[in-house]
Amino acid sequence: MLLLISPINHDEAIESIEGGADIIDVKNPKEGSLGANFPWVIKDIRKLTPKDKLVSSTIGDVPFKPGTISLAALGAYYSGADYIKVGLYGTKNYDEALELMEKVVKTVKDESPETIVVAAGYADAERVGAVSPWDIPKVARDSGSDLAMLDTAVKDGKTLFDFMSMDDLEKWVHEAKEYGLNTALAGSVKKEQLKPLYDLKCDVVGIRGAACIDGDRNSGHIDRTAVKALKDYIKSFD
* DSSP codes of every residue in 23-39: EEEE--GGG-TT----H
- Cα(158)–Cα(50) distance, integer angstroms: 34
- Among candidate residues 85, 106, 109, 235, the one labeled active-site is 85
65 catalytic residue (yes or no) = no
The maximal CA–CA distance of the chain, rounded, in angstroms, is 44
Q: H or E stretch including 228?
A: helix 224-235
177 catalytic residue (yes or no) = no
- Among candidate residues 27, 65, 231, 235, the one labeled active-site is 27
Q: Number of C-alpha atoms within 13 angstroms, CB side, residue 159? A: 19
- Cα(33)–Cα(61) distance, integer angstroms: 7
Contacts of 74 (CB under 8 A, 6+ apart): 107, 108, 111
- Residues forming the active site: 27, 85
